[in-house]
Amino acid sequence: MKICMIVRALPAHRLGGLEYHTRDLVCALAARGHEVTVVTTPPPPGGAPVGADLAPGVEVAVVAGAPSADYSLSFWRALEPLVSRLHSSKRFDIVHAQEFAGLFLRPRGAALVCTVHGTMFTEVPLDRRYWRRLGTGDRLRTVWRYKARLALHPFFRVMLRRADRLLVDSQFTFRELARMDGALRPRMGIVPLGVDPARYPFAGIARSPRHPAAPPVIALLGRLQEMKGAGMAVEAARLLRSRGVRFRMEIGGSGPFAAPLQQRIDAAGLAGEVILRGRIAPDATSEFLAAADLFLFPDLTQPAFGLVAVEAMLHGLPVVAARCGALPETVTPETGWLYDPWKPVELADVLEQALADRAGLAARAAAARHRAAGFTAAAMAEQTEAQYEKVLGRLSRDAREETNPDPA
C-alpha cells in the first residue's frame, strides 16, 4: 500500500508518547513492505532532520511555513494542498492522520483514516469526571487555559464524521466516541498501541536481587503536571512513612508542577524518600525503569491507553495504576493493582500491600513481561494494516454498488 502518514511532530521535534507511537508505527509499516510518506512540521532550529530516525525508504514532506512541532492555523491551511500535490504523483491508498492533524483535512482519491487517542477532553481537566471536582475559580482557569480545545471541538466532531475509518487505541476510547456520536460505531476499529522493544536495552534483562538492606524503589515517569497525580503520590508516600514502610520513590520528568511538587516533598519531610530526578533522556529511560521494583501511574485524568505502563511492564515492573480511562485494560490483576485516583489513603494501602508481598511482586513481574510482549510495534502495524484493508474493501464495494445499483 501507499500510505501518507500525517503527524504534528516526531521524536526529532520533541519527545512524547504520540511522537514515538507514530515513529514506531511508520517504521513497522515500512518493514511490512508498505510505501510510507510522512507529512509533518519543520524541524526545530538547529535540530536533526525530521526523518533521521525513520526506517530507510520512508520519505518525509515538511509543511512549509508551519511552526515546528505543533498544531497551528498555518499547518492546517497548508496541509491539504500539500497532501493533494503528493497524492497527484504518488497516488496514495491511505491518508492517515494522527490525533488532531486531520481536523481540516479533506483528501481526494484516498481513504481517510484517523487515529484517535481519547477525545479532546479526556486527558485534561475539561473531562467531565475531573471537571466536577473543580471549584469555580479552577473551572474559570481551566476554561481559559484550554480555550483552544473548546474552540476546536466542533471541528473534531466533523473530522470524526468525515473519516472513512477511525482507529482507536482502547475500549475506553471506543466508548467515549460512541457516547459522543453513536453513528461512529461501525467505522471504528480498535488497534492497541505498541512499542519497539529495540529502543529499550535493559528490557528483558533479569535484575540482580536487591540488597536486603536497600529499600524497594517505586518509579514514576511522565510530564510533571498536577493533573498527572504526582501530588497524590507524594501524599501516599507521607502515609507510608508514617506507617513505618521502607521505600524510595523516584519521579522522572519535568514540567510546570516540578517546583510545587518539591515544596510538598520538603514540607512533608520526605526529601530522603521521594526524589525528583528531572527529565529522563530517551537513552536513559530503560535504565531508569530497570532500576525500580514497582511502577506507579497516578493519573487523575482519563488516559486513553497508558503507553508508559507498557514500557514499565516490558522491564518486568508490576504497575500500580489509577482506576481511570483505559488503564484497567492495560494493567490487569495479574500484572499489577488498581486504586481510586482521588484517594491517597487507598493508594498507600495498595503500595504497602504490594511492597510487603515479595512473592506476589515477583509473580506479577513475570506476568508483566509476558503481557508487554503483546504490545509491540510489529503487532500494532499488523492490526493497522488489517484496518486499512477493511476500509479499502468497504470503499471498493460502495463504489461498485454506486456504479451498478441494484435494479430492485
Percent of the chain with pLDDT over 70: 95
pLDDT 10s digits, 323-332: 999 999 999 9
The pLDDT assigned to 407 comes to: 52
Report the distance separating Cα 162 and Cα 204, nearest Å: 42
* Same topology between domain 2-196+376-403 and domain 199-372: yes
SS3 89: helix
**DSSP 3-state percent helix, strand, coil across the chain (nearest 5):** 45, 15, 40
CB 351 within 8 A of CB 236: yes
SS3 185: helix
User: How high does pLDDT run on average in the chain?
Assistant: 92
pLDDT 10s digits, 391-400: 998 766 655 5
Confidence of residue 157 (pLDDT cuts 50, 70, 90): very high
In the predicted structure, residue 2 carries a pLDDT above the cut 70: yes
The pLDDT assigned to 211 comes to: 67
> Average pLDDT of 250-267?
95
**What's the fold here for domain 2-196+376-403?**
Rossmann fold (3.40.50)
Q: Is the dihedral of CA 138, 144, 148, 152 positive or negative?
A: positive
In the predicted structure, residue 91 carries a pLDDT above the cut 70: yes
The pLDDT assigned to 194 comes to: 93
Report the distance separating Cα 149 and Cα 154, nearest Å: 9
CB 340 within 8 A of CB 299: no
List beta partners, residue 38: 5, 60
The pLDDT assigned to 364 comes to: 94
The pLDDT assigned to 397 comes to: 63
The pLDDT assigned to 405 comes to: 61
Report the distance separating Cα 367 and Cα 33, nearest Å: 33
Helical H segments across 197-336, by residue range: 230-242, 258-267, 282-290, 307-314, 327-330
- pTM for this one? 0.90
CB 196 within 8 A of CB 376: yes
Q: Which helix (H) or strand (E) holds 62?
A: strand 59-62
- Per the model's pLDDT, the better-predicted residue between 212 and 383 turns out to be 383
Q: What number of other Cβ atoms are within 10 A of residue 248's Cβ?
A: 17
Confidence of residue 12 (pLDDT cuts 50, 70, 90): confident
Comparing CA positions, the residue from 60, 56, 69 lying closest to residue 13 is: 69
The pLDDT assigned to 203 comes to: 82
β-strands 188-190, 217-221 pairing: unpaired
The pLDDT assigned to 106 comes to: 83
Report the distance separating Cα 182 and Cα 160, nearest Å: 11
The pLDDT assigned to 317 comes to: 95
**What's the fold here for domain 199-372?**
Rossmann fold (3.40.50)
The Cβ-side half-sphere exposure at 7, using a 13 Å CA radius, reads 29
Q: List the grid coordinates of 222.
A: 511522565
Domain coordinates in residue numbering, the chain:
2-196+376-403, 199-372
pLDDT 10s digits, 164-205: 999 999 999 999 999 999 999 999 999 999 999 988 888 877
Q: Residue 198 to residues 109, 271, 278, 319: CA-CA distances in angstroms? A: 36, 35, 24, 22
> Average pLDDT of 122-131?
95
Query: ∠ at Cα 52 (47, 57), nearest 5°?
Result: 150
Report the distance separating Cα 345 and Cα 350, nearest Å: 9
Confidence of residue 16 (pLDDT cuts 50, 70, 90): confident
In degrees rounded to 5, what are phi and psi of residue 41? -85, 165
The pLDDT assigned to 403 comes to: 55
